[in-house]
Structure 1
Amino acid sequence: MAQKTIAFFPEAAYGPALNSVGIAQAVEARGHKAVFLSDPGFVDVYKGYGFEAWPVNLSEPMPPEQMAKFWEDFINGHIPNFRKSPYDQVDNYVKDCWTAIVDSAKWAEKDLPGVLEKISPDVICVDNVILFPAIKQSGKPWVRIISCSENEIEDEDIPPHLSGCGENDHACHKAYRDHFNAVIKPIHDDFNAFLTENGERPYPIGQFFEASPHLNLLLYPEAVKFNRRHPLDPAKFQYLEGCVRKEAPYEVPAFAKNNDGPLVYVSFGSLGAGDTDLLKRIIAAIGNSRFRALVNVGGYKEAYTDVPANVVIESWFPQPSVIPQVDAVIHHGGNNSFTECLFFGKPAIIMPYVWDGHDNATRVQETGHGFRMPRYDWTDAELIAKLESCISDTAMKAKLAAASKHMQARNGPEKAARLLEGLL
């Protein structure tokens, strides 16, 4: 097949961005050209992987360094709300987030038509939670990538997105849905007015995006899939079983203490790293244990002094190269960390704070692939006991080994590239 151009437009967060990088790497391996449409603050991320990237303003234009810090500052401003339940976060974090997301769609509509005309892609892949009318109206096949929990595609029998409800706790489902729809209604009305102005039909309450009529790619793995009342049509919905990108090799450093102890990787993602008090608590707890730890502290390395000799901190780790070498992972429930742990068969302790981290934390525990822990309400002894369980629970190890074998046999990025080529 002659070379085609496939455009990727992930939201401005590392999870979706790096998932799309994984697919783009596979697309180029098949002889096609991958280009990125990008929030200006993320252009250099894609260029760092060798891809062409075109800026699309998703907010009022500002200097790149300020743009890159927008969501970091947004998250840090909400740290007090991370102590609240998913239900109680609707009134603050979730509401503010959806306001910003709707604003981003309005801003994107100013740039997108012109950028799409210049790139002239053959297929457009969107990993976002909101519709961009220009993409739907481009005349090109467009693909929706769902890199968050699969419950982003709703069903009456599964928990609502962001709720953290158990699969069978239908009272929790209803309470969360009703509260979300009531709080979000003014924002949703504003978005529907925007859709109407741009020639699109308004969406039902609570809905900000739709399934693509061409193809929808879900990253969620088979081992944790929900039981839907209405199974998704495989002609239009395909599960990728994760989408792990290729990173440079990582060599675990020597530790001055516990060098033969079980190894833990700790990361709350680029945005969660601002919660330095929590990371310091975890470091102190591990410091007094038989474990070793690699801890991702993001851009806050200077905030850490007197790091224990059995802990190594860095501003960034090539996560897909680190996780295969550790015994357990403590993370925030972001879908990259969630699927990478399953892909490599590693038990996880998930301490969620926002978005689908709540859903993934509940799901990892109810399917027996790890543990959900409260983000703040725990003792050192409880954390270490959970880590000990991660490395000693034989039933969990067997489940993780089966999930890993299944996912690695599927090769999500390669499958996605084949499916995209099929659209051409």
Structure 2
Amino acid sequence: MPSYRFMVTAIDAIGHIQAALGFSEALQAAGHEICFVHREKHRHLAVKRGFQFIPFDETVWEANLDEVMLKWLDSLSSRFKQDPLQRFLEISPTEQEGYRAQGLYFVIMNKAIDRILSDKNNKFDALLVDLAAPFPALNKHPVLWFPLLSSGPLALYPSGPPYISGYSVHSDKSKWEGFRKAIRDAHSEITRIIRGNLDAHGLSHIKFDPTFFHDEPQTIGFYHYPADLDYTECGPRKSNWHRIDCLVRKPDLDTDFVIPENLKNKPGKLIYFSLGSLGSADASLIQKFIDILSKSPHKFIISKGVRGDQLKLGDNMWGENYVNQIKVVQNVDLVITHGGNNTFIETLYYGKPMIVIPYSYDQFDNAQRVVDKKIGFRVNLYDLDENYLLNCIENVFNDNEIQNRVKAISQNMRNSKSLTNAIKMIEKQIEQKNNSS
């Protein structure tokens, strides 16, 4: 089999980047060459894995997007604690400003990708991209590209509940279209910008719908989700999308996780707590959970996040602003998570039950899937009850059926050939394109 050179990139969000890296590691193991293309701050992710790296032209980034996002999160922290439907009703001018910034980010990143692909020194056989919107640059250049949908896959099932609603597949269908309308209305500004960018490049035939935050495949696309949890009961999924049961990257740090000294002699089970990069930016929210969990008889590893220095941990806790998550998950008894798809997949792959506290977007869908498939519990920020959360922890440990279901899912993920098959599909597409040209 010939060796191909892949350009790999993703939007500047850690979950998307991690999924793309997991896929890239498998492509590299199959004998292909990986060139990770992103902002200079992510170079170390490529170097660690033996990938080539090409940085984006930093002159296209017109603002410090990390600061913009933190300010946006601060101004809307109360909104993220609302029921998903309420979250998208009556969008304020401040919130629209945040959506405008997101839309402009897509335009800027498209420009950065276009500059890479326009450079005649850069030769690629194919692109693997996780971009969450249609990008004109992909259609402008002749190189074959494959989208990766690293968020939850509910949007691929048109007959299922609305994507990012957190509605059960068994919920009242009469409410579904109202939620979809709220999503479209709330994202009108970001939709306007993305469609304007497509029109400006002569691509008005390409549509963008915020009920499906992604692009349709040029040939085939991929998503990652365990077969045991996929939404097959919702009828056929969108054509040309293929499931990969898991994309679990190598640990970010090579060192093994060792239980911290202050926890070694503490009683109880070991639990990992993380609300992801967005949720953990709300220091007051994380502190609220720390105060609740400090009343538990168990011990905790806390991922404190970017503002972790503001937090005060309980005596039954250890934490850092950044923890080596994959190594930690392997060594704990339970994961309490926001339900971001990457953490969700990693937790199941390592056979750990979970309690999901959704904060935004597809996290609500994953939280409800945990409930519908009886592998854990969902705790909502909008009706947070201290005793309920503490009881959920005990209920997980006392329920052997939950433990057994999670272990079975883990085993099926590990035995899956879906990633190997996905790589073969990609190789076949490249071969066919080369033969036709």
Alignment of 1:340-379 (within 5 A): 340-375=346-381, 377-379=383-385
Take 2:118 and 2:4, find their aligned partners in 1: how far apart are those partners? 15
TM-aligned CA distance change 1:112 to 1:231, over 3 Å: closer
Is the 8 Å Cα contact of residues 270 and 334 (structure 2) preserved in structure 1?
yes
Once the two structures are TM-superposed, the CA of residue 52 in structure 1 deviates from its matched residue by 3.1
Is the 8 Å Cα contact of residues 337 and 357 (structure 2) preserved in structure 1?
yes
Letter in 2 for 1:13: A
TM-aligned CA distance change 1:11 to 1:186, over 3 Å: closer
TM-aligned CA distance change 1:312 to 1:205, over 3 Å: closer
Deviations 1:247-276 (A, max 9, x none): 133222233476341010001112321222
Match of 2:331 in 1: 325
Take 2:153 and 2:58, find their aligned partners in 1: how far apart are those partners? 25
Match of 1:214 in 2: 219
Is the 8 Å Cα contact of residues 23 and 414 (structure 1) preserved in structure 2?
no
Match of 1:199 in 2: 202
Take 2:332 and 2:160, find their aligned partners in 1: how far apart are those partners? 32
Is the 8 Å Cα contact of residues 157 and 236 (structure 2) preserved in structure 1?
no
TM-aligned CA distance change 1:39 to 1:174, over 3 Å: farther
Match of 2:14 in 1: 14
Is the 8 Å Cα contact of residues 257 and 309 (structure 1) preserved in structure 2?
no
TM-aligned CA distance change 1:205 to 1:255, over 3 Å: closer
* Segment drifting more, 99-108 vs 27-36: 99-108
Letter in 1 for 2:161: P
TM-score by length of 2: 0.87
* Segment drifting more, 114-123 vs 7-16: 114-123
1:253 to 256, 260, 263: 260
Moved over 6 A (4+): none
Match of 2:87 in 1: 89
TM-aligned CA distance change 1:110 to 1:281, over 3 Å: closer
1:422 and 2:428 equivalent?
A: yes
Is the 8 Å Cα contact of residues 188 and 208 (structure 1) preserved in structure 2?
no
Once the two structures are TM-superposed, the CA of residue 27 in structure 1 deviates from its matched residue by 1.7
Take 1:224 and 1:60, find their aligned partners in 2: how far apart are those partners? 40
TM-aligned CA distance change 1:101 to 1:48, over 3 Å: farther
Match of 1:32 in 2: 32
TM-aligned CA distance change 1:186 to 1:272, over 3 Å: closer
Once the two structures are TM-superposed, the CA of residue 388 in structure 1 deviates from its matched residue by 0.6
1:276 to 263, 274, 283: 283
Structure 2 unaligned spans of 5+: 431-437
1:292 and 2:299 equivalent?
A: yes
Is the 8 Å Cα contact of residues 146 and 152 (structure 1) preserved in structure 2?
no
Once the two structures are TM-superposed, the CA of residue 208 in structure 1 deviates from its matched residue by 5.8
Take 1:257 and 1:37, find their aligned partners in 2: how far apart are those partners? 42
Match of 1:99 in 2: 100
Take 1:163 and 1:50, find their aligned partners in 2: how far apart are those partners? 39
1:244 and 2:248 equivalent?
A: yes
- What RMSD, in angstroms, separates the aligned Cα atoms of the two structures? 2.6
Is the 8 Å Cα contact of residues 41 and 67 (structure 1) preserved in structure 2?
no
Is the 8 Å Cα contact of residues 82 and 382 (structure 2) preserved in structure 1?
no
1:336 and 2:334 equivalent?
A: no
Letter in 2 for 1:280: Q
Q: Helix, strand or coil for the counterpart of 2:23?
A: helix
Once the two structures are TM-superposed, the CA of residue 350 in structure 1 deviates from its matched residue by 0.9
Structure 1 unaligned spans of 5+: none
Take 1:4 and 1:348, find their aligned partners in 2: how far apart are those partners? 39
Deviations 1:156-211 (A, max 9, x none): x2122221122132123111012222343454344323212212114265466432
Is the 8 Å Cα contact of residues 23 and 416 (structure 1) preserved in structure 2?
no
Between the aligned residues of both structures, percent identity stands at: 23
1:224 to 215, 224, 229: 229
TM-score by length of 1: 0.89
Once the two structures are TM-superposed, the CA of residue 385 in structure 1 deviates from its matched residue by 0.7
Once the two structures are TM-superposed, the CA of residue 43 in structure 1 deviates from its matched residue by 4.3
